[in-house]
Structure 1
Amino acid sequence: MSSNSIICNGCQTTIRDRRYLLCGGCNGYYDLICANVSEQRFYNTLTKEHRDAWRCVECISKKPKRDNTNTPVRVAVDNITMQRGAAVKSPMELDMSIVEQPLSLTSNLNDTANNVTVEMTDYQSLVIEMRSFKEELREDMRVNREQLKVMTDTLSALIGRVAECENRIDKLNDRLVLLECNTNTDNEPGNKSLAESIKQLKAEINERDQDLLLNDLDISCVPETGGESLPHILKTLASKLGVTISDQDVISTERVGRVLEFQQSDTSKPTQETSTRPRTIVVRLARRAVRDELLRAARVRRGATTEGLHLPGVPRRFYINERLTRVNRMLFRRARELAERLNWRYVWTRGGRIFARQFHGHDCPRFRLKTEEDLERIFGPDPFRSSAIN
């Protein structure tokens, strides 16, 4: 008979697993609940001999009662009280019962000792396992403490550098305010030097602000949706360019500009949000090497689009550039307009600095643009701007 069709003699239900006991008296099958045996005892302490000797409650109740003639204290006493259903034994049987009693007691003691040994073995293995887990937990805590100490030291150093930069910027601002307060009318002597000093201070402040953005990038023309995950979009764009970025390389990602209210509508139909230019994604990276690698990959794969990135709307080109300050961004835009108007071929940025070159070749010099005066000095006066001012 298969285990799937065994019927329990106690509850008359089908036993669908192998957790049952076979009665040695009536050959009936009983599940663990009807046999009053726990699963721990069934798997750990119930040996094969115990299972073969197991009897059900009905068979135990049918077994005749024994008398108390084998009680050691009452062996030699006459008129022994007999239990109900017990038979009177002869002196020979009494002697044999006295001999058999220590043997049965020894067997019970051996079984109890075996059960205790099995339980002690399980307890020892559990203790060893807990000690091993404790050692592993202690080692993990030690490693975590070391990593936390390194991160704390690094963060403290970064906070110190930021505080130093802020102090320098505050000093420059104080000097600038002082110079502006001391400035009189334009016709008084000394105002020209003060104006030059103010311009120089503004240029220094702009350069220091630009130095704080050396690990930042601007990603433009990436479609924008409500509830988007910017770190995931950054990793997807980087993988399309052949660059792998981990979570430790990214400090922050956010969109800058006017916030658009996105409507929950069909993405296949153009809406006002999808038709306008999406906001720029500003990325701050932990290492400058990762930023430079992304810029190089973007220059090599110039013209890459969002095709295959599962972004809404039709595929469109995206651009990755250095992040510039507001002054440098306006200066770079003016330089590109003038270069396009005057047929200059190259206007680019590197390390937050703006450069221009008229054509390719070693004999053509490279110019650096810092202020509006540099635009007039390099490109000449802008006739369109002059006419607009007049």
Structure 2
Amino acid sequence: MSTNKNEIRRCGGCLQALEHSSYLTCSSCSLEYDLHCAGVTPERFSTLTGDHRAAWKCVTCRSRQPKTGNTETPVRAGEGGVTVRRGASRPPAIDIDMDLDESLSDPANQTHDGPQHNIAAVLAGFQTLVAEWRQFRADVRVDLEEVREDLRALRGEMRELVGQERLETLEKEAGVNHAAVSARIGALEARVEATERRRAEAGPDEAEGLRRTVEELKLELNERDQEALLADLDIGQLPEQKGENVIHTVCVLAARLGVPLEERDVVFAERVGAPPAEAGGRARRVVVRLARRHLRDELLRAARVRRGATEGGGRVYVNERLTRSNRQLFHQVRGECRKLQWRYSWTRRGRVFVRRSDGAQVYQIRSPDDFARVFGPQTV
């Protein structure tokens, strides 16, 4: 087989590179095979002549050659796979499905002449092999049972050992935890005693200072909560219907106030409080959060211009959404203004303001403590 100098010669069987000269070339397909794929030992290869090597054919090409019968063959395969010579009597056919134990347990029916003697010997050997196999299986069962018993005993011992170690570990952990808890309880008791001692030693001025500090902290927290509601509205007396779409109802109300509002501009809108006990009862108020703060400011301005929009035959009030503390404070301020005949009270950006009359001074009220300062000592 001619190859280029730069082409790597490869074995036709394993496709590995032929790195030495020990190989054979098929005279039929011209493929080259190393000795392993050719099935030739190095010793046999060294004894092959040039004619033998030139006439050698690979397994694939030899299998493609047509098979021809040879009537002169002295040995042929007979029935049951038993080889007999030409002219010899054929052995009786053996029923493959016959009971094996019966065929093996009746050696008297076998003769000692020719092929029948060979069959009897083979069957007798096979019977011995079956008996040995059965005995081996029985021995294996016994051994397996012993192994299982040993494993069960070993598992029991391991459980006992692990349980004992776990118990000791838990006891150690309980001791450590008990010591830690005792130390923490002791530290807390010491802090409580120190606090009570300082409280007993503190004068009225210090106690008043602490109270004011606490009140200031509460006010700061309330103002931070109010800042989170700067894009929210609180709508009162908006008619309520079963299965309503609250966002759509809010958009319709905004359109009547002259402010274009789409559903995508509303982050959420829901009613708060318990539902009315009976049909036609007082509608729950609606809290709304808008996507942009300027939309909330426009709705507030439009609602204040109309001073109570009408919806479904009733008046609807649109206000800022206040925290619980500011809502209670605003309710108290409005009651005080009605009692003292102050004309104005309102909220802006969550803060409560009052004014006695037109052109009068505006006051901000942060807590009920400011009532005496703004309305006078008679409110205390």
**TM-score normalized by the length of structure 2:** 0.46
Greater gyration radius: 2
**TM-score normalized by the length of structure 1:** 0.45
Higher relative contact order (CA 8 A, sep 6+): 1
